[in-house]
Amino acid sequence: MLLSNIISLLACVVTVAGQISPTNSTAVNAQTAAAQACAELQSDLGSTIVEASGAEYNATSQGPWSLFNSLDRPTCIVYPRTATHVQLAMASIFQHKSHYAVQAGAHSPMIGWNSINDGVLISFANMTSTSYNPVTDTVTVQPGVHWGDAMAAVEAYGVSVLGGRASDIGTGLLLGGGISFISPLYGWSADSIKEMDVVLVTGQLVTANATNTYADLFHALKGGANRFGIVTRYKLNAIHTGTKDNKNWFSGIIVYPGSSSVALSKASARYIREVTDPKAVVILNTINLTAVDANTVYLFYNGAGLPPGIFGDFLSIPRTSQTLSPLSYYDMSNLISGAARGNGQQFGASSWVGDESTFLEGYNHLVNFTQTFAADLLSSYLIISPIPQSQWAATASRSPNAIGDPGVAYATINFNLIYPTGLTIRPKDVNNGFKLLLSQTPPSPGLPLYVNECDASQNVFGTYPNFATLQKTYAKYDPLRFNVEHTVGPIGL
């Protein structure tokens, strides 16, 4: 497949709203299909862009954040430098019916979402630029950038992006919706997207925004995870946060003993139910280690101090230590790195309204689970991220996302398991116990789950108020269901 033939190929295989007719109708197994696609791509793009071995190949395949995703060995890895390279890769994958995966920041804990055996891996390691346009007041990022690097690239202009809360997280965060430290003020991270270039499963490149022909695709991408295409360019609305010298936030970390866990659970429920100030941010991280029970709370306020009327509960609970000081938004964005590798990770999602009994029951279920499987775990976490109504109000001022406003304040709940160093397979009994934990701690009625924090077994899309619209959009852009058949991602479409 020569580069000059891509337009004619796409004309043969794609009609977005109608039929897709791949020219290769012969059923082949995964190994053969991937080998055919890789051989074709190596011929067309060359050995510097398509690799099947070597130091760069090894670094990429072994580089994912979760150890469980660092064990796969793709048939080949494509390192695109342009959107056209991604088009060629996807067109060949589609033509040969190969399995595939895409790796941007490589920070997903879900097995197979950014790694693959017997398939083609598209790595964005060579597409990592960030630029600011003061005329349009937008920041353009390529898909391989990590949020810490993106924020550093534009900090001198006094602007930033609605990225992630750990600097190592990549742009895949946007496709899941995305939560930023300043989301209560500005909405979900995905809501800052102004425009995207998207390669569809057939290799066709389209530009989607809120008002053009692809507005439905634009909305679906913001919460639809990896199911609707491969984004090769994000144009984001700049957020005017100041430079690193502008210490306009009062922020920091408080560490509490395990004996404060019940009080913190109750304080979290009250905070979610009662606090409406969009300048306030709390993240509670309850750590149930195999030997120690501890808690960490991150508190932020866009002002000169932490107002007692908002944070009083947290400030009055007995603590082990605290570090509170004026910080810039740039400082805040570097508080959590998240870059450590070497351990298997597992996430599970829930969503709770601000009810004390719900929070306490969920915490107790996690304690019971952790005690049961203490010998198999390094640690287990309960991470609470409030989603106030102000976050949805900021979303409403832009354009819809795929998730949909449930109409109440709530918190996303992330159960995070970390397995011992060197453990390469999740024990079956732990995995079954984790699924039981998720069934014991369901979302409050009517609340959506957060796909970036889900377990692979959870039907997150089915919890979206806009699920029917999401299904319709997926059927339009992938009527042969190639994506769900050939790459791993959220279930339910």
Class for domain 130-243, per CATH? alpha beta
Is the confidence at residue 142, as pLDDT, over 80?
yes
Quick one: average pLDDT of 150-157? 98
Residue of 474, 473, 470, 472 lying closest to 461 (CA atoms): 470
Percent helix, strand and coil across the chain, each to the nearest 5:
35, 20, 45
- Residue 239 pairs in a beta bridge with 160
Weakest mean pLDDT among 11-20, 177-186, 385-394: 11-20
Contact indicator for 119, 30 with CB cutoff of 8 Å: yes
CATH 3.30.930.10 fits 3-14+21-126, yes or no: no
Is the confidence at residue 20, as pLDDT, over 70?
no
Residue with tokens 């790595």: 123
Q: For residue 306, give every residue at least 6 positions away whose Cβ sits within 8 Å of its Cβ, in sequence order, or none.
A: 250, 299, 315, 324
pLDDT in the model for residue 291: 60
Q: For residue 403, give every residue at least 6 positions away whose Cβ sits within 8 Å of its Cβ, in sequence order, or none.
A: 177, 188, 222, 223, 448, 464, 465, 466
Sign of CA dihedral 35, 40, 45, 47: positive
* Position 179, amino acid: I
Is the confidence at residue 482, as pLDDT, over 80?
yes
Average model confidence (pLDDT) for the chain? Answer: 93
pLDDT single digits (tens) 90-110: 999 999 999 999 999 999 999
Domain with CATH 3.30.43.10 in the chain: 3-14+21-126
Is the confidence at residue 10, as pLDDT, over 70?
no
pLDDT single digits (tens) 238-255: 999 999 999 999 998 999
Distance CA 33, CA 13 (A): 17
- Kindly state the tokens that stand for 232: 């090769």
Ramachandran quadrant class, 300 (left: phi over 0; alpha: psi -120 to 50; beta: rest)? beta
Quick one: average pLDDT of 73-81? 98
pLDDT in the model for residue 14: 39
Domain with CATH 3.30.465.10 in the chain: 130-243
The β-bridge relationship of strands 76-78 and 120-123 is parallel
pLDDT single digits (tens) 332-360: 999 999 999 999 999 999 999 999 999 99
Is the confidence at residue 476, as pLDDT, over 60?
yes
Confidence of residue 7 (pLDDT cuts 50, 70, 90): very low
Sheet of 130-133, strand order: 130-133, 138-141, 230-237, 193-199, 205-208
Distance CA 162, CA 219 (A): 17
CATH number of 249-327+341-467, picked from 3.40.718.10, 3.40.462.20, 3.40.50.300, 3.90.850.10? 3.40.462.20
pLDDT single digits (tens) 107-120: 999 999 999 999 99
pLDDT single digits (tens) 394-429: 999 888 899 999 999 999 999 999 999 999 999 999
Indicate the pTM of the whole model. 0.93
Is the confidence at residue 441, as pLDDT, over 60?
yes
Ramachandran quadrant class, 3 (left: phi over 0; alpha: psi -120 to 50; beta: rest)? alpha
Is the confidence at residue 175, as pLDDT, over 60?
yes
Domain with CATH 3.40.462.20 in the chain: 249-327+341-467
Weakest mean pLDDT among 74-88, 221-235, 244-258, 287-301: 287-301
pLDDT in the model for residue 412: 98
Sheet of 293-301, strand order: 321-327, 249-257, 293-301, 280-289, 379-387, 410-418, 345-352
Is the confidence at residue 12, as pLDDT, over 50?
no
Confidence of residue 28 (pLDDT cuts 50, 70, 90): low
**DSSP E strand boundaries for 192-344:** 193-199, 205-208, 230-237, 249-257, 280-289, 293-301, 321-327
